Amino acid sequence: MTASPRSAPRAQEGERHEPFAVVDIGSNSIRLVVYERLCRAPIALFNEKSVSTLGRSLASTGRIGREEMDSALHALRRFAHIASALRAREVEYVATEAVRRAMNGAEFLAEARRATGRPLTVLSGHEEAHTAAMGVAYSFHRPRGVVGDLGGGSVDLSLVTPDGPIAPYGSLPLGTLPVTRMLLEDRAAATRLIDERLASLPWLEGVCRGQSFYVVGGGWRALARIRLAITDTPLKVVHDYRLTAEEAVKLGRSIAALDDEELKTVPGMPGRRMPTVRAAALLLERVVRRIEPEAVVFSAFGLREGRVFLRLTPEELQEDPLLAGAHDFGRTRSRVPTIGRAMGEWTRSVFPNETPEQRRLRLAACELSDSAWREHPAFRAREAFYRLAQYPFIGLTHAERAFLAYACFIRYEGSPEDLFIRPILSLLPEPERRRAELLGATLQLGYRVSAAVPDLLASSRLEIAGDELVLHLPVSDMAPDPDISRPRLRAVAKALGLGRFRVTATA
């Protein structure tokens, strides 16, 4: 009934370009995600949750209740129809804590198989923790710390490194459903029990000092949305939203202490999460106190994306998720699919001393730099800025989102004084603003020289010669009119701190 997380079959070449679906059968909800295709930066075509509360009766009866089972089976039948309609070549059904623990779990599995026509995989606690950690490990850039996946029936904890998840793993019956029941009876007793259960995994004590705690699961993501609303943060993106440990403890403690009426007044409170959000808050506070992270980082990726990543080859997993996602985004929206990579090579001479982190951002911006050409000229800069800041890229921080958006904003001749961009631009430190302005100005020039044609771009080059910026062209006929080229050359030279610029033909 179980399978190792590593036993998920690798995708064959033909499968990689067809939709792939995962149905995650949890203790509180069942969710279907249909991904556009199997790839390093998966994008959801469809995402829907059904709150079936399969684990509601487990604590009192040890069984899945008939009402909950019928609700879940209805959701599974609906999801099977949707996945088929979206032409998902494969639908993977995975069940976790509730089905794993229920005395009548086998009965549910049999009925679910009849409802869907497909087998279900029941993950062990170890497998569940590992799969969630896979989702986190490969959706951040070089993560290091602890992954915590909070579900309705359990919380799963594991270590993650830049090379992927590693042992040990731990799964504790401290999901939002049982903790909510405990809170209704005695909050002090609930806190003591949580601490006792966490202490049963001695490796957790202080394990995250100087590192990050990556939190996964709807209950914890609800806390992120609340914090985003309370603080009026300009970028409403949960993935890679970061708090200090102190901020996370304060948030958890304050939400856990509210009564039902007070919860209704909390900004950003997801209505469906209201019954269990206190449990999620208390668990966040106690886990953070136990593992002592430097930062708490919220993740939009988890178990379902982990099932996707388990089907990729080791070579695919080593790809940078930001560059993979930016390439996928740019190639389908640019006038010529390869112009992004060509721009990456062409702009290299202007950034001779960049760090590896700066290089990956520059290359990503180049991949995205022709993606708004269809927009009305008067709105291209703003459309590019807003879309790129909010798009579900992975492997980048909020400040790096602002960098990409701002570089492309400047590329489309947006004004740095535009009030529209100020809130999100506030996330970007001044040195990186200047760098984004230089990159945007260089891209402006590159597109004028090449007309977005990679071969024309490759026949020219930029050179920094002393205090002069030189644009080399193969023939003089390649030069744009001076009233077009001079302002753009001047903008690049100014951003570089150079006093002179010129165009030379090298036929």
* pLDDT of the residue at 5: 47
Surface-to-core class of residue 114, CB atoms within 10 Å of its CB (0-12 exposed, 13-18 middle, 19+ buried)? exposed
What is the amino acid identity at position 22? V
User: 272-288 in b/e burial notation, b at 16+ Cβ within 10 A?
Assistant: ebebbbbbbbbbbbbbb
Average pLDDT, the chain: 94
What is the amino acid identity at position 370? D
pLDDT tens figures, 268-323: 998 888 899 999 999 999 999 999 999 999 999 999 999 999 999 999 999 999 99
Give the residue from 349, 368, 453, 375 showing the smallest Cα distance to 411: 368
* pLDDT of the residue at 2: 34
With beta carbons less than 8 A apart as the criterion, state whether 488 and 445 touch: yes
With beta carbons less than 8 A apart as the criterion, state whether 342 and 369 touch: no
* pLDDT of the residue at 12: 59
d(CA 69, CA 107): 10
Share above pLDDT 90 across residues of the chain, in percent, rounded to a whole number: 89
pLDDT tens figures, 421-477: 999 999 999 999 999 999 999 999 999 999 999 999 999 999 999 999 999 998 877
Residue 54 per-residue DSSP state: T
- The residues, ordered by sequence, that sit 6+ positions from 46 with a Cβ below 8 Å of its Cβ are 32, 33, 34, 82, 86
- The counts of H helices and E strands in the chain are 22, 14
With beta carbons less than 8 A apart as the criterion, state whether 140 and 310 touch: no
Q: Treating both helix axes as pointing N-terminal to C-terminal, what angle do 398-411 and 430-450 enclose, rounded to 10 degrees?
A: 40
End-to-end CA distance of the chain: 70
Q: Which helix (H) or strand (E) holds 147?
A: strand 145-150
What pTM was computed for the model? Answer: 0.92
* pLDDT of the residue at 59: 80
- The size of the chain, in residues, is 507
CA dihedral in degrees (115, 306, 361, 239; nearest 10)? 70
- The residues, ordered by sequence, that sit 6+ positions from 415 with a Cβ below 8 Å of its Cβ are none
Six token digits for residue 13: 């070449």
Give the residue from 479, 452, 488 showing the smallest Cα distance to 369: 452
The mean pLDDT of 185-190, rounded to a whole number, is 94
Q: Is the pLDDT of residue 7 over 70?
A: no
pLDDT tens figures, 53-69: 999 998 889 999 999 99
* pLDDT of the residue at 407: 98
> pLDDT band at residue 124, thresholds of 50, 70 and 90?
very high
* pLDDT of the residue at 9: 64
- Phi, psi (deg, nearest 5) at residue 174: -125, 45
* pLDDT of the residue at 270: 83
d(CA 323, CA 361): 8
The residue whose two tokens read 């790096």 is 400
Q: Is the pLDDT of residue 3 over 50?
A: no
Six token digits for residue 250: 């304060």
Six token digits for residue 184: 């209704």
Six token digits for residue 170: 């731990």
The residue whose two tokens read 């006093």 is 499
Give the rounded distance of the alpha carbon of 459 from its chain centre.
37
pLDDT tens figures, 315-367: 999 999 999 999 999 999 999 999 999 999 999 999 999 999 999 999 999 99
* pLDDT of the residue at 161: 96
pLDDT tens figures, 394-426: 999 999 999 999 999 999 999 999 999 999 999
Q: Are strands 44-50 and 30-35 parallel, antiparallel or unpaired?
A: antiparallel
**Three-state SS at 10:** coil
Give the residue from 492, 434, 435 showing the smallest Cα distance to 468: 492
pLDDT tens figures, 69-112: 999 999 999 999 999 999 999 999 999 999 999 999 999 999 99
Six token digits for residue 335: 């006038």
> pLDDT band at residue 11, thresholds of 50, 70 and 90?
low
* pLDDT of the residue at 370: 98
Give the residue from 22, 34, 75 showing the smallest Cα distance to 53: 75
With beta carbons less than 8 A apart as the criterion, state whether 466 and 412 touch: no
Q: How far is the CA of 476 from the CAs of 315, 436, 452, 463, in angstroms?
A: 44, 30, 19, 17
Q: Is the pLDDT of residue 197 over 70?
A: yes
